[in-house]
Amino acid sequence: MARLREFYRQPEAIFWVYFFPILLVVALGVAFRNKPVERFTVDVQLAPRSSEIVAALGADSRVQVQAYDLAACQQRLRTGKSDLYVVPGADLHSVEYVLDPTRPGSVVAKNLADQRIQEAAGRIDPVQVTIQQYNEPGSRYIDFLVPGLLGMGLMGGGLWGVGFAVVDMRIRKLLKRFLATPMKKSHFLMGAMASRLVFMVPEIILLVVFSWLFFDVRVYGSWFALFILVLLGAVEFSGIGLLVASRARTLESVSGLMNLVMLPMWTLSGVFFSYDRFPEVVQPVIRLLPLTPLIDALRKVMLEGATLGMLGPELLIMSAWTAVCFGLALKIFRWTD
């Protein structure tokens, strides 16, 4: 109750816990929203046949094309103002593409430009192709992103909301006063974790509902399974926060320790992109990080409709982290320095 009263008497804490995650979803959701078809800038070097190539490329709405002299083409490619430039050959059956192969946009633009030029020269594809666009909720980047942000919020809330608060109480000599009371260490630590749960559950509900209303992010699994994952994730990172703060004496030291714990998970656990991009040799280690099974489980429930019975490995890893961290925190925690 003391932690709850201390929290709602601080308006800035309410902002960071409940409204900052929503601002983060808005910013990233708008930045990575589904955009119209990407346009490519293709330059054509001035030559006797440049007008024919400009006409062939200009027929495609995805290509922005214009003719320049050689120096201008080289300058625009070097400064990133174009994706590639085309050098017309002496006849209709030869062209040269100049591009930077390390830029994905250049490679895609080359393939598109080559297709249009070949078709203008009379190429007929023997196979008829039909393209069907698919853009259902669940397949977009924002659908992938929201579970990652939920996990990141649970991690930050557990570590900062519990660990930082404990160290702050130690600095203000409040923990020292508890030493003269009948309160047990286990009661104090469980109280700190329980208060964090009260804060986190409304935060997650608010974030999920906001994402659904404004970005149509859906939960294909059960809300009960999602609630259990949120509850277990909050307890897991509260336990880690308690362990980090068990002996820390200053805000600087606990801040450094928390950043040391969180930074690898921000980078490796798949918050903003899939951890499958990392080398295979580090995949087993990444999957054992506390945040990775939480995000994996959240995505399986929200995007794939998984049930709790299908999340055995993730729940086992999270439970192990919770038990070990809380047990170690209880063992090494001290009321005084």
What's residue 185's pLDDT?
Answer: 76
What's residue 90's pLDDT?
Answer: 74
What's residue 319's pLDDT?
Answer: 93
CA pair distance 127, 49, nearest whole angstrom:
30
**127 vs 274, more confident:** 274
Output the CA–CA distances (angstroms, integers) from residue 295 to 47, 76, 139, 227, 291, in the order listed. 55, 42, 17, 14, 6
Average pLDDT over residues 299-315: 90
Instruction: Kindly state the helix (H) or strand (E) to which residue 79 belongs, with its residue range.
Output: none
Average pLDDT over residues 32-39: 60
What's residue 71's pLDDT?
Answer: 92
Instruction: Give buried/exposed letters for 18-53 (b at 16+ CB in 10 A, else e).
Output: eeebbeebeebbeeeeeeeeeebbbbbbebeebebb
CA pair distance 306, 314, nearest whole angstrom:
12
The architecture in CATH of the region 40-120 reads 3-Layer(aba) Sandwich (3.40)
Average pLDDT over residues 320-330: 89
What's residue 169's pLDDT?
Answer: 78
Give Cβ neighbours of residue 329 (< 8 Å, ≥ 6 apart). Answer: 189, 239, 242, 243, 246
Predicted confidence band at 288 (pLDDT cuts at 50, 70, 90)? very high
What's residue 33's pLDDT?
Answer: 59
Instruction: Kindly state the helix (H) or strand (E) to which residue 97 belongs, with its residue range.
Output: strand 95-99
**184 vs 131, more confident:** 184
What's residue 9's pLDDT?
Answer: 67
What's the token pair of residue 54? 């400009």
What's residue 294's pLDDT?
Answer: 93
Domain ranges of the chain: 2-31+143-332, 40-120
CA pair distance 270, 148, nearest whole angstrom:
7
- The phi, psi pair for 123, rounded to 5°, reads -70, 140
Question: What's the predicted TM-score (pTM) here?
Answer: 0.67
Least-confidence region, from 45-49, 189-193, 225-229: 189-193
